[in-house]
Amino acid sequence: MSQRDYYEVLDVNRSVSNADLKKAFRRLAMKYHPDRNPDNSETEKQFKEAREAYDILSNPNKRAAYDQFGHAGVNQSAGGGFGSGGIGDAFSDIFGDIFGTGGGRSRVRKGADLQYNLELSLEDAVAGNTVKIRVPTMKHCTSCSGTGAKEGSSPETCGTCGGHGQVRMQQGFFSVQQTCPKCRGAGTTISDPCQTCHGAGRVKEHKTLSVDVPAGVDNGDRIRLSGEGEVGEAGAPAGDLYVQMHVKPHAIFERDNVDLYCEVPISIVTAALGGELEVPSLNGRMNLKIPPGTQTHKSFRMRGKGIKSVRGGPVGDLICRIVVETPVKLNAEQRDLLEQFGRLTGKSARKHGPNEKSWVDGVKQFFEDMKS
């Protein structure tokens, strides 16, 4: 048909990839298709020219012959621009992409991936553990070995699509392949279904799995168990199971990446005079020295007493935050002693209460600034 250079027809260079070749043809086909340009012989001619060029250049053997000998190398094999397969074979892949259908027999898809939310204690997340989980899923029916057909029978080739799973519909110049409505893409039908799975080839079940949780996992981390998801239809392989970690809140510790935080309440006596306390860590009990004059919110960092991440790197720290507790439910003697202490320290507040004094000075300055 066309004696124009095929690369020129599709407006591509000679080193064009197959993917870009397909994009170029799709663009021209949508532009010049007769259904979009009724009663326009010129656009119909351009459409057929583009179709012929794509048929040649999309075939590796024809393209090689054309590159070497030009039109003379493909005139015999081109068969008028369509080859032996006709219009449908030349365009089923292109317009299958446009309309969401694929050429040829439908592929058997593996089963769905599943997700299981695993709750862990902080201790198990830090140290690692082996945990058993019970997962609802689908498995191949043992009565029919996943075929869906009753024992002693087997699925039959679909009479509508001939076992391809697809049927071809002609729409003007378009040949569009769609999923077969009878077998729904399987390519086979079942006249005598299995009574256990009712022809589905799968049945519901719960299975128990052991999950090796590595040390140092955190919220949101996932472990993939390959092939432990749902099995596919018609004997297709199973998907994967993703176990997602959820670390439960801890009564004492808060986690921030590889560091651990805990609040340590101390009495005003210990805060004022200093002392030594026993504090918890995930490795056991530890001693923490409190210097005299320690204030609330003072933090003490214990190096290497935190968490080692599952991704490696240095071990985190344990940070102890001090909370000075105000005494409650005082008896008369305790109240009297505190009042005496208050009178004594009140005479030298700068020395014994530096934070309070600086705060009071700041408040006074604030009100003076407001007056000015």
The arithmetic mean of pLDDT across residues 152-165, rounded, is 82
Give residue 87's pLDDT. Answer: 38
Give residue 71's pLDDT. Answer: 76
The arithmetic mean of pLDDT across residues 8-33, rounded, is 87
The segment with the largest mean pLDDT, out of 80-94, 168-182, 285-299, is: 285-299
- CA–CA separation, 229 vs 187, rounded Å? 24
Number of domains in the chain: 4
DSSP state of 193: B
Check whether residue 28 and residue 51 sit in a common domain: yes
Phi, psi of 19 (to 5 degrees): -65, -45
The segment with the largest mean pLDDT, out of 51-65, 87-101, 157-171, is: 51-65
| Residue 330 near residue 341, CB atoms below 8 Å | no
Structure tokens of 293? 């004059």
Confidence label for 19 from pLDDT (cuts 50, 70 and 90): confident
Instruction: Write down the H helix ranges in the chain.
Output: 6-10, 18-32, 41-57, 60-69, 75-78, 86-99, 122-127, 268-273, 332-346, 349-352, 354-371
Residue 39 lies in a domain: yes
Residue 12 lies in a domain: yes
Give residue 32's pLDDT. Answer: 84
Check whether residue 359 and residue 270 sit in a common domain: no
Structure tokens of 292? 């005299």
Residue 69 lies in a domain: yes
> Edge-to-edge strand order for the sheet containing 241-247?
114-120, 241-247, 222-225
Residue 96 lies in a domain: no
Instruction: Look up the pTM and report it.
Output: 0.55
Residue 30 lies in a domain: yes
Looking at residue 315, which CATH number applies to its domain?
2.60.260.20
The arithmetic mean of pLDDT across residues 204-212, rounded, is 89
Where does residue 88 fall: left (phi above 0), alpha (psi -120 to 50 degrees), or beta otherwise?
A: alpha
Looking at residue 24, which CATH number applies to its domain?
1.10.287.110
Nearest to 111 by CA among 48, 49, 201: 201
Check whether residue 316 and residue 352 sit in a common domain: no
334, pLDDT greater than 80: yes
Nearest to 147 by CA among 185, 118, 186: 186
Asked which of 194, 220, 247 is the last residue of a domain, the reply is 247
Give residue 243's pLDDT. Answer: 94
34, pLDDT greater than 80: no
State which residues form the domain around 142: 114-247
Residue 32 lies in a domain: yes
Check whether residue 282 and residue 218 sit in a common domain: no
Give residue 38's pLDDT. Answer: 76
349, pLDDT greater than 60: no
96, pLDDT greater than 70: no
Computed from CA positions of residues 174, 177, 178, 181, in that sequence, does the dihedral angle turn out positive or negative?
positive
Q: How far is CA 290 from the centre of its chain?
A: 47
90, pLDDT greater than 90: no
Q: Which residue has the higher pLDDT, 125 or 162?
A: 125
Give residue 92's pLDDT. Answer: 43
Asked which of 36, 66, 84 is the last residue of a domain, the reply is 84
Residue 226 lies in a domain: yes
The packing angle between helices 41-57 and 60-69, to 10°, is 100
Check whether residue 73 and residue 198 sit in a common domain: no
Check whether residue 243 and residue 127 sit in a common domain: yes
Check whether residue 67 and residue 181 sit in a common domain: no
Asked which of 247, 268, 294 is the last residue of a domain, the reply is 247
The packing angle between helices 18-32 and 41-57, to 10°, is 170
DSSP state of 243: E
Looking at residue 126, which CATH number applies to its domain?
2.10.230.10
Nearest to 274 by CA among 254, 294, 244: 294
Confidence label for 104 from pLDDT (cuts 50, 70 and 90): very low
Give residue 182's pLDDT. Answer: 79
Give exposure, 136-157, as e/b (b: 16+ Cβ within 10 Å): ebbbbbebbebbbbbeeeebee
Check whether residue 20 and residue 50 sit in a common domain: yes
Question: What integer best gives the mean pLDDT of the chain?
Answer: 81
Check whether residue 121 and residue 165 sit in a common domain: yes
Give residue 83's pLDDT. Answer: 38
How many Cα atoms sit within 13 Å of 266 on the Cβ side?
30
Check whether residue 153 and residue 236 sit in a common domain: yes
pLDDT tens column, 221-232 = 999 998 888 877
CB atoms under 10 Å from CB of 73, counted, come to 17
Check whether residue 32 and residue 154 sit in a common domain: no
pLDDT tens column, 244-270 = 999 999 999 999 999 999 999 999 999
The arithmetic mean of pLDDT across residues 16-29, rounded, is 87
Residue 162 lies in a domain: yes
Check whether residue 258 and residue 366 sit in a common domain: no
Least confident segment among 104-113, 206-215, 237-246, 268-277: 104-113
Give residue 234's pLDDT. Answer: 62
